[in-house]
Amino acid sequence: MPLDHEAKPTVDVPGDRGWWRRPFSVFQTNLQEIDAVMDVETALDVIEGYGADTWLINTGGIASFYPTELPFQTRSPFLADRPSGDLIGDAVAAAHRRGIRVLSRLDFSKVSARIAREHPEWLFVSPAGKPQVYNTLFSTCPSADYYQHRSLEILDEIIGRYPVDGFFFNWFGFSERDYSRVYHGVCHCAKCQEGFRAFSNGQELPDGPDSPTYPEWLKFSSQVIRTLTSKIAAHITARRPDAALVLGRGAPIIYHEANNAFGRELWHHNTSEWVSAHVTAMPEIALMVNSVSFVDMPYRMAGEQPEHFAQYLLQAIARGGNPSTYIMGAPGRIPYANLAHSGPITTFRREHRDLYAGLKPASSIALVRPDRLRSASPGFADSVEEFRGLYKALQEKHLPFDVLAADLIGKMAEEGALERYALVILPDLGVLGRQAAEALDAFVRRGGHLVLTGSSGVAEDGSIELAASPALMRVGTPKSGDELWSTYVTASEQPEIGNYRYAPSIIPVYGSYARFVWKPGVEKVGRLLPQAPFGPPEKCYGHTASDDPDLVRAASQGTIVHIPWTIGRTYREFGTTQIRDHFLDAIGPLTGQRLFAELPEQVELILGRDDNHLIVHLINQSGARRKSFGPHLTITGGRLRLKGAGMSREPELLVSGETPAIREANGDLLIDLPPLELFEVVRIKTG
């Protein structure tokens, strides 16, 4: 089977007729079997009061909450206690009377023991030949008939009975791990063996991440899921054109889950990153951000910290995503304190629906995110750390930027969307691929600027992918690990270095440093101070300057700056402002920045626009903790500066409702902000 990069539905989804083309807000009640008797009117009171207009409710798959007649579904045993015998029929009718849409949640990842006995060919098979069983349920395989064909029959039954507005499929993927995080391996069912053999030209199916063919299996599994997603989306569109599918690429609505987990490091900007990466490259496809109200799956009754949950919603709406709130059970059965804290956010968005309908990215900087399909490849985790370090550097100093997914650079170039950026930053990405490299070369020829760190745009053999690169080839393998300990760069002249006396600034180098043969005529800035002894103290001297640079700059129609070391990883690990500002000084002349802020580092500034305004979201993250966000601090004395705008603009503060003090300075518009609480949205008229 060919790798389907596009994963587009074979039947066109409706244009402006699709309700998902406008902003929407979802409330999910993830039901247990016992909720078959829930009061739908009480649930809808909560959903309406929360500011949501769409209800996501369990419908079929593992447990059917309607009287299914299909032999490969299992009715909830509590459905018989409901007077009507049909929760979904009651929910859809009541919701539509109030103008609330209903999305049906389906889960085909597991079947009952009875169905498993009748259809063993549908099941996941471990490398040891065993099924995966969890709480009496047997995991199924997306390659097999249950996912590929029977799922369509279940959809047909639901569509034939209820005017639902869309569908969401839970756990829509290959079940390598179960809910207890036990690793079972790659599925070895007959369909997977046959499919992978055809996909990989006869390679052996891997057992897990340590197998050499596992990176190829990741591509295969992604292709299976995308193709199946497209197939299901087309089937729904053919049967019910006004109903949407919420899933992965290939669906009319893309799904992203904002969640926390014990044992996993918290990346405080994860939601903002994911939403930006989607909206930047695929604005034509709606994104639903499902925010989890509990701390982790094993602790579903432990509510998430309210301020942390609020960050999910704020980061989602500021970047252009559609917010969704996910609770367990019927509303009120399990106490989730975060709902009271987050309701005003969803209500604010509902009241400003027109603003969010027209919201688009407006930054002049694009930070490229590593390709997730390479997550099993060597160096991927290091690239992610480089990305996150540079993300923090830009965010803390309020340089507005968008996140660009590496695998979508070619798509954006074809659509002319790269042209809105002055600067694209590639954080130690390694191989880009021909399509992306050609797109970025064309971007530079048209006057765009590139910043490369580490080995971005460098093939495994050291060859250079970018024609515009200042490098001719990489020499050997980059130095890394303890080979770099006690290594520095300096951008300053060091007239007394022979006496081991140094002028500022001395910047530590961490992660990796790659040596290159540079093109003639490029500008080399600064020098590397290679490793010297760092212990014991009596022996800690000896650093001298090498001919290897801190960074290299090449200018043609556009400028390329290549920092041959992982400055993002260094900042991520050490966290000193000297490292951060060294990077920002290097890129400063290239950013095309028009909006500047005098605000603490703990405020995230996200810049968007509509047809007539700049839209500035300010998110107060002063409550950041190691594993969550706590209560924020009120921030005073903030100011925005819009370059070249003068006094012709009239900014509005949409959250506080206050009128800001404005004045002109050197042709720039200065906006003095009132005290900032959790968030503010500033709308500034343009033109």
pLDDT value of residue 250? 87
Whether residue 13 has pLDDT greater than 70: no
Mean pLDDT of 546-573: 97
Cβ count near 536 (within 10 Å): 7
pLDDT value of residue 97? 98
- Domain-located, residue 226: yes
Mean pLDDT of 535-539: 96
- Domain-located, residue 406: yes
- Among 547, 575, 590, give the residue marking a domain's end: 590
Residue 25 CA to chain centroid, in angstroms? 19
Task: Give residue-wise pLDDT tens across range 30-43.
Answer: 999 999 999 999 99
Q: Are residues 269 and 326 in the same domain?
A: yes
- Domain-located, residue 433: yes
Q: Are residues 165 and 271 in the same domain?
A: yes
pLDDT value of residue 5? 30
Q: Are residues 348 and 387 in the same domain?
A: no
- Among 590, 607, 642, give the residue marking a domain's end: 590
Task: Give residue-wise pLDDT tens across range 401-445.
Answer: 999 999 999 999 999 999 999 999 999 999 999 999 999 999 999
Q: Are residues 546 and 636 in the same domain?
A: no
Residues facing residue 665 across a β-bridge:
668
pLDDT value of residue 373? 83
Residue 335 CA to chain centroid, in angstroms? 29
Whether residue 215 has pLDDT greater than 70: yes
661 exposure class (CB count in 10 Å sphere: 0-12, 13-18, 19+): exposed
Mean pLDDT of 377-385: 93
Q: Supply angle C-alpha 52, 53, 54, rounded to 5.
A: 100
Task: Give residue-wise pLDDT tens across range 53-76.
Answer: 999 999 999 999 999 999 999 999
Q: Supply angle C-alpha 664, 667, 669, rounded to 5.
A: 45
Q: Are residues 463 and 558 in the same domain?
A: yes
User: Hey, which bits of 612-675 come out as E strands?
Assistant: 613-620, 639-642, 652-653, 661-665, 668-672
Mean pLDDT of 456-480: 97
- Among 568, 590, 612, give the residue marking a domain's end: 590
pLDDT value of residue 8? 35
Rounded to whole angstroms, the Cα distance separating 311 from 327 reads: 16
pLDDT value of residue 411? 96
Question: pLDDT band for position 17 (50/70/90)?
Answer: low
Whether residue 592 has pLDDT greater than 80: yes
Provide the sign of the torsion angle of the four alpha carbons 107, 110, 116, 119, taken in this order: positive
pLDDT value of residue 156? 98
- Domain-located, residue 604: yes
Question: pLDDT band for position 665 (50/70/90)?
Answer: very high
The residue with greater pLDDT, 395 or 9, is 395
pLDDT value of residue 86? 98
pLDDT value of residue 648? 66
Q: Are residues 532 and 648 in the same domain?
A: no
Whether residue 16 has pLDDT greater than 60: no
- Domain-located, residue 132: no
pLDDT value of residue 358? 97
- Domain-located, residue 422: yes
- Domain-located, residue 184: no
Mean pLDDT of 231-250: 94
Residue 129, φ and ψ in degrees, nearest 5: 85, 15
Mean pLDDT of 662-667: 93
Q: Are residues 585 and 602 in the same domain?
A: no
Per the structure, the count of domains in the chain is 3
Q: Note down the domain range covering 665.
A: 595-685
Question: pLDDT band for position 627 (50/70/90)?
Answer: very high
Q: Are residues 354 and 379 in the same domain?
A: no
pLDDT value of residue 655? 98
Q: Are residues 29 and 159 in the same domain?
A: yes
- Tokens 């917010």 sit on residue: 323
User: Residue 241 sits in a domain of what CATH number?
Assistant: 3.20.20.80
User: Residue 540 sits in a domain of what CATH number?
Assistant: 3.40.50.880
Q: What percent of the chain has pLDDT over 70?
A: 97
Mean pLDDT of 224-246: 95
Question: pLDDT band for position 463 (50/70/90)?
Answer: very high
Mean pLDDT of 618-625: 98
Task: Give residue-wise pLDDT tens across range 151-195.
Answer: 999 999 999 999 999 999 999 999 999 999 999 999 999 999 999
Q: Are residues 584 and 604 in the same domain?
A: no
Mean pLDDT of 571-600: 98
Q: Are residues 526 and 636 in the same domain?
A: no
Q: Are residues 28 and 57 in the same domain?
A: yes
- Domain-located, residue 182: no
User: Residue 639 sits in a domain of what CATH number?
Assistant: 2.60.40.1180
Whether residue 9 has pLDDT greater than 70: no
Mean of pLDDT over the chain:
95
**Across 14-28, 154-168, 453-467, 566-580, least confident range:** 14-28
